[in-house]
Amino acid sequence: MQQYNTQLPKVALPEYGRNVQKLIQYCKTIPDREKRTRYAYTIVDIMADLYPDIAGVENGKRILWDHLALISNYELDIDYPYPIIPQEELNSAPTPLKKAQSYIQFRMYGKVIEDMVEQAKSIADQGDRIRLFELCANHMKRNFHLVNKDADEDNEKIISDLIGYAGPEYRDDIMQVYLYSTAELQKNDQFDPASLVVTPKMKKKKKKK
């Protein structure tokens, strides 16, 4: 009679599959401790082949042995190469991260933009200050159109929001920034400032013949 998965024992770690669990269960039945240990090493090699990313990291082998012990319900009596982490520690949930309490004025632009604007305001040289405002504005425009994919080219909104970040005393500086088209910004997926010229390119004059 065919057995369905719902009728079979629960798989302790589903990522390794039921076959690995069966191998470990068989390993527990081997009478000779030395043979049992050798068999366990073979199982760990199989687990490493299934998850090479785990085996390749620091302490990766130790993680696999901890998983082996967990799958065996800590009933596998062998010579482990490492001290095994107790079940209560392995299954304990990590301490939840505290939510950031800082207020973000425009969430679609992100917190980094606010920090960049504050950095721009601290620059004494007007030319350098405008260039950083320009990078902020283009980053904001790119983020805006990632969220609002069907929106028209609304440069006025980007400028208005940037002035809202910086304050009206920086209006004259911000009104001088150059905004790229949405198409140009989307081509630059990672928005590497070095790959964008911060001022419009000047057309080369044709040489007179």
Q: What is the pLDDT of residues 122-138, one digit of tens each?
A: 999 999 999 999 988 88
Asked if residue 16 and residue 71 are part of one domain, the reply reads yes
What residue ranges in 55-110 does DSSP mark as E strands?
none
Position 65 scores a pLDDT of 92
Q: Does pLDDT of 44 surpass 50? A: yes
Asked if residue 181 and residue 115 are part of one domain, the reply reads yes
Q: What is the pLDDT of residues 61-88, one digit of tens each?
A: 888 999 999 899 899 999 999 888 877 6
Position 130 scores a pLDDT of 92
Position 153 scores a pLDDT of 81
Asked if residue 155 and residue 84 are part of one domain, the reply reads no
Asked if residue 115 and residue 82 are part of one domain, the reply reads no
Asked if residue 131 and residue 76 are part of one domain, the reply reads no
pLDDT > 70 fraction of the chain, expressed in percent and rounded: 75
End-to-end CA distance of the chain: give it in Å, rounded. Answer: 93
pLDDT band, very low/low/confident/very high, at 195 (cuts 50, 70, 90):
very low
Q: What is the pLDDT of residues 82-92, one digit of tens each?
A: 888 877 665 55
- What CA–CA distances, in Å, run from 64 to 14, 32, 44, 86, 200? 14, 23, 6, 14, 56
Residues 90-97, mean pLDDT to the nearest whole number: 53
| Cβ(138)–Cβ(179) below 8 Å | yes
> Do the domain assignments include residue 48?
yes
> Do the domain assignments include residue 2?
no
**CA dist., res. 209 & res. 207, Å (int):** 6
Token code pair at residue 185: 């910004």
pLDDT band, very low/low/confident/very high, at 144 (cuts 50, 70, 90):
confident
> The domain containing residue 45 runs over which residues?
11-89
Total domains present in the chain: 2
Asked if residue 188 and residue 119 are part of one domain, the reply reads yes
> Do the domain assignments include residue 67?
yes
Asked if residue 115 and residue 190 are part of one domain, the reply reads yes
